Amino acid sequence: MKNYDIKDSSLASAGRQRIEWASREMPVIKIIRERFAKEKPLKGIRISGCLHITTETANLALTLKEGGADIVLCASNPLSTQDDVAAALVEYGIPVNAIRGEDDETYYKHINTALDNKPQLTVDDGADLVATLHTKRADLIAEVIGGTEETTTGVVRLRSLERAGGLRYPIIAVNDAQTKYLFDNRYGTGQSTIDGITRATNFLWAGKKVVICGYGWCGHGIALRAKGLGSQVIVTEVKPVRALEAVMDGYQVMPIIEAARVGDIFITVTGDINVIDKAHLQVMKDGAILANSGHFNVEINIPALESLARSERQIRPLVDEYTLKDSRRLYLLAEGRLVNLAAAEGHPASVMDMSFANQALCLEYMVKNRGSLEIKVHPVPEEIDKQVARLKLQSMSINIDTLTPEQKQYLTSWEQGT
Ligand SMILES: NC(=O)c1ccc[n+]([C@@H]2O[C@H](COP(=O)([O-])OP(=O)(O)OC[C@H]3O[C@@H](n4cnc5c(N)ncnc54)[C@H](O)[C@@H]3O)[C@@H](O)[C@H]2O)c1
């Protein structure tokens, strides 16, 4: 039986070229891939992966395959799949179940097909695959050694599953590696969110009031890049320390109900629900643009937007114009889904190099430690995090200092003071 479902296999050669292009910027993954090819640490291990089907994911999947894994992929978002990459991966012998623009029913059908691979390892981005496995396919759990989770929202969901006593196998929170969130979430989401919005709208950032909801790692990155392009950045937050940090980083901070009245563009990146709600939509300026870069399309209350609208039309690809009953027009990008993946290509390969190096090394770690890891959400082992940083620096030909014996002694002693 065919274990893949893609849009069009004739796109494979374009996909192959783009995968190759991304690989130039993934030197750490290259080093791991070469070692995996020799050592085969994942020999015969069945993996089900639910990830954005992009050129960078392709390079990770090929690395895991090189390590001996039998991997089947599905998409972690209905709008992020690059159909040419999916076609190329199938040609490389990696079954992919993902079609850009698929409806929710097909999205879950594809997750189920990926699970039909009877995974021993799961690789998830947002925890939809793990949630399906725990609720609808629990019969498969006995064979699962462990899993990894790529993003903040997925880690939040898994920790909540663990707290509820429902988690059935160990999972490593790849998102929480320093070599992941400090770079991927900040510089990756920062640059690619601006890229997605620019591609969708041809928006001039200079002089615009850009409202960023959520000053987490992604919010930091988007704010920094918008500021660099000349925008007046306004941050909304619920955590006092992060709000204070935003103030001292030079941004205006105010509640969303106040920001709603002045913003030209709104970017949600909180991992929360209805951050832009009906009351906020009701006071926005005519022409305001709404975009989301958080994992799920629930950050902007789209049903409320629809209920306020008199009419709706697509005015450009990925730009929906809602004309409200009072004649104001609001523009929703990419149906409120991750704008950086839906309207651009997601994070640049150079940053995914580190995130996916963590993925590959954590999967290897899970196999090496099979049976001995406690059933909980684990942090990335510090040694893996450091190794990724070392390899990345090495690939950039950057050397750093090492502690002298005297410094080591000083830093671990208490005797010496004023
Ligand atoms: N677009 C991408 O490619 C991409 C990449 C990485 C992460 N993500 C997703 O982006 C989201 C944010 O990730 P992060 O790593 O920045 O998380 P984070 O936890 O570091 O930051 C989220 C911030 O949002 C704030 N927040 C929560 N509710 C809020 C509200 N109602 N109003 C204002 N602020 C609110 C929190 O206090 C927190 O400071 C997650 O859903 C994550 O999965 C997307």
Give the model confidence (pLDDT) of 396-416 as tens digits. 999 999 999 999 999 999 998
Strand arrangement, sheet containing 232-236? 252-253, 232-236, 209-213, 265-268, 289-292, 329-333, 319-324, 309-316
**pLDDT (0 to 100) of residue 85:** 98
Atom in ligand 1 nearest the alpha carbon of residue 296: 41
Strands (E), 115-175: 121-124, 146-149, 171-173
Given a cut of 80, whether residue 82 has pLDDT beyond it is yes
> How close are the terminal C-alpha atoms of the chain, in Å?
74
Report the pLDDT value the prediction gives residue 418, as an integer from 0 to 100: 87
Q: For a substitution probing ligand 1, which of 192, 193, 295, 355 has the most ligand atoms within 8 Å of its CB? A: 295
pLDDT over 70 at 1, yes or no: no
Specify the residue with its C-alpha closest to ligand 1, atom 39: 216
Which residue has its alpha carbon closest to ligand 1 atom 19? 216
CA of 188 to the centre of ligand 1 (A): 14
How remote is the C-alpha of 79 from its chain's centroid? Answer: 13
Q: How many CB atoms lie within 10 A of CB 90?
A: 21
Burial class, 146, CB count within 10 angstroms (exposed 0-12 / middle 13-18 / buried 19+): buried
Please state the atom number of ligand 1 nearest to the C-alpha of residue 346. 3
Return the pLDDT at 45: 98
The atom number, within ligand 1, closest to the CA of 152 reads 43
pLDDT (average), residues 345-369: 97
What distance in angstroms lies between residue 392's CA and the mean position of ligand 1's atoms? 26
Beta bridge partners of 313: 321
Tell the residue nearest (CA) to atom 42 of ligand 1.
Answer: 152
The whole-model pTM stands at 0.95
d(CA 152, CA 127): 10
Residues touching ligand 1 (Cβ under 6 Å) are 151-153, 181, 185, 189, 213-219, 236-239, 242, 269-272, 275, 293-295, 338, 340-341, 346
- Contact partners, residue 178, CB within 8 Å, separation at least 6: 385, 389
Ligand 1 pocket check: which of 152, 187, 245 to mutate, most ligand atoms within 8 Å of Cβ?
152
pLDDT digits (tens, 9 = 90+) for 98-152: 999 999 999 999 999 999 999 999 999 999 999 999 999 999 999 999 999 999 9
Convert the pLDDT of each residue in 229-246 to its tens digit. Answer: 999 999 999 999 999 999
Burial class (CB in 10 A: 0-12, 13-18, 19+), 314: exposed
- Statement: residue 310 has pLDDT above 80: yes
For 184-204, how does the pLDDT look when each residue is reduced to its tens digit (9 = 90+)? Answer: 999 999 999 999 999 999 999
Which residues contact residue 173 at a Cβ distance below 8 angstroms, ignoring those fewer than 6 apart?
Answer: 149, 155, 158, 377, 378, 379, 380
- Find the 302 Cα to ligand 1 centroid distance in Å: 18
Work out the pLDDT band at 254, boundaries 50, 70, 90: very high
Whole-Å CA distances, 25 to 243, 328, 347, 348: 34, 44, 12, 8
How many Å lie between the centroid of ligand 1 and the Cα of residue 40? Answer: 36
Q: What percent of the chain has pLDDT over 70?
A: 100
Categorize the per-residue pLDDT at 341 as very low, low, confident or very high, splitting at 50, 70 and 90: very high
**d(CA 272, ligand 1 centre) in Å:** 7
CA atoms of 399 and 392, how far apart (whole Å): 11
Residue 181 CA, closest ligand 1 atom number:
15
Taking residues 173-182, what's their average pLDDT? Answer: 97
pLDDT at 2: 79
pLDDT of amino acid 221: 98
Q: What is the rounded CA–CA span in Å between residue 69 and residue 76?
A: 20
Distance of alpha carbon 134 from alpha carbon 160, whole angstroms: 13
